Amino acid sequence: MIPFLDLSKINKRFENEFKSVFNSFLDSGYYILGSHVKAFEEEFASYCGVSHCVGVGNGLDALRLILEGYIILGHLKKGDEVLVASNTYIATILAIKQVGLVPKLVESESVTHNFNLEELASLISEKTKAILPVHLYGQLSPMSKILALAKSKNLLVIEDAAQAHGATNENGTKAGALADAAGFSFYPSKNLGALGDAGAVTTNNEQLADVIKKLRNYGTSSKYVNEYVGINSRLDELQAAILRKKLPSLDQDNLMRIEIAKKYLKYVNNKHIKLPSFRYKNDHVFHLFVIRVEDRDKFLTHFEAHEIGTLIHYPIAPHQQKALLEYSDLHFPVTEKIQKQLVSIPISPVLSEKDVNFIISVLNSYH
């Protein structure tokens, strides 16, 4: 049996470090917004190559607080439109909606699963004020094109980097440093995962970082002085301590994912299986390895018979979800077609060579 993702094996590697940091955490008596959150914010900002990082409760809140921060700073106002991928995880879209902005869904492109750039440009109107690209499955969105378009139309660009910790463009710039601001999730299954919920915002905009620091903590500017109608979405001190122990291994973990992806791409040779694209060296950190098959039920039965775990990211497109009924009349032919063919197969820094080879043989024997 090969599980889709073995989280306990991933975290077991840090067991001794986690235990010792827990003991000192317990003894410290300091459990909220303490020294670990502050240190992690500095370390993660430095890792991403930005001047500010603000730790928050989860990835959804990271995106919501960026947008809310821009509303407070007067760069966005309720009712403004934000362009977002029609094939993203629903959180990207919910974040926009929940702060009173209007998500405008954009058709995807069938090779990279990113924005269809022509459709993106054609959807820009007077009301459009921001673009929120997602680095889906760990692969960077075509940022230079998106940024050029945004610049010509005076739009903000906010990255959903929840699946792309450490992904690096051809100039060496990392996810989180590619636009005006970025939201990260450290949900346990992400490339950098906590042992619970956690998230962060990265930005070079000091004003924005300051507002988000207040917003995440009830809009507090100094103890019991409330400047904004904030929320409670602080990065948990213990999760920050855990993330500090894991961050130094992120690049190595990503390299192991890339090595496995390269093996899949090299040795899987089956006309019934469409493999993902891979452009530069590190612009894809393979949070997920997503293939496409025409007859998905048959493929899943084949994998099940060989006891290999799979998942589908995502089985229902956002505009077809009950939660987003207002989009139910829209059609995105590429997103809808691809969504019926997607299958994510195992990939992780702890997947053994033997398991990778077995998965390759099972992929090659599918017909």
Site residues (CB under 6 A) for ligand PLP?
A: 58-60, 88-89, 91-92, 134, 160, 162-163, 185, 187, 197, 199
Closest by CA to 158, choosing from 52, 62, 90, 41, is 62
7, 351 Cβ separation under 8 angstroms: no
In the complex, minimum distance from the CB of residue 136 to ligand PLP, in angstroms, rounded to a whole number? 7
Q: Please, which residue, 247 or 356, has the CB nearer to ligand PLP? A: 247
Closest by CA to 257, choosing from 160, 193, 351, is 351
CA 163 – CA 44 distance, rounded (Å): 15
R_g of the chain, CA atoms, integer Å: 21
Helix, strand, or coil (residue 285): coil
Q: Please, which residue, 58 or 112, has the CB nearer to ligand PLP? A: 58
In the complex, minimum distance from the CB of residue 105 to ligand PLP, in angstroms, rounded to a whole number? 14
In the complex, minimum distance from the CB of residue 1 to ligand PLP, in angstroms, rounded to a whole number? 26
In the complex, minimum distance from the CB of residue 272 to ligand PLP, in angstroms, rounded to a whole number? 28
Name the residue type at position 32.
Answer: I
Closest by CA to 116, choosing from 332, 364, 289, 263, is 332
In the complex, minimum distance from the CB of residue 190 to ligand PLP, in angstroms, rounded to a whole number? 6
Q: Please, which residue, 199 or 349, has the CB nearer to ligand PLP? A: 199
C-alpha 292: how far from its chain's center? 21
In the complex, minimum distance from the CB of residue 246 to ligand PLP, in angstroms, rounded to a whole number? 15
DSSP codes, 308-343 = B--B-S-SS-GGGSGGGGGGTT---HHHHHHHTTEE
Q: Please, which residue, 48 or 273, has the CB nearer to ligand PLP? A: 48
Tell me the residue nearest to ligand PLP as measured from the CB: 59
CA 122 – CA 145 distance, rounded (Å): 14
In the complex, minimum distance from the CB of residue 96 to ligand PLP, in angstroms, rounded to a whole number? 12
Residues in the chain: 367
Q: Which residue has the tokens 């301590």?
A: 241
Q: Please, which residue, 41 or 160, has the CB nearer to ligand PLP? A: 160
Classify strands 102-106 and 81-85 as parallel, antiparallel or unpaired: parallel
For residue 268, the number of C-alpha atoms closer than 13 Å in the C-beta half-sphere is 25
In the complex, minimum distance from the CB of residue 162 to ligand PLP, in angstroms, rounded to a whole number? 3
Q: Please, which residue, 92 or 339, has the CB nearer to ligand PLP? A: 92
Q: Please, which residue, 160 or 283, has the CB nearer to ligand PLP? A: 160
In the complex, minimum distance from the CB of residue 306 to ligand PLP, in angstroms, rounded to a whole number? 27
CA 99 – CA 86 distance, rounded (Å): 19
Planar angle of CA 52, 57, 58, nearest 5 degrees = 90
Q: Please, which residue, 86 or 273, has the CB nearer to ligand PLP? A: 86
Q: Please, which residue, 128 or 191, has the CB nearer to ligand PLP? A: 191
Classify strands 128-132 and 156-160 as parallel, antiparallel or unpaired: parallel
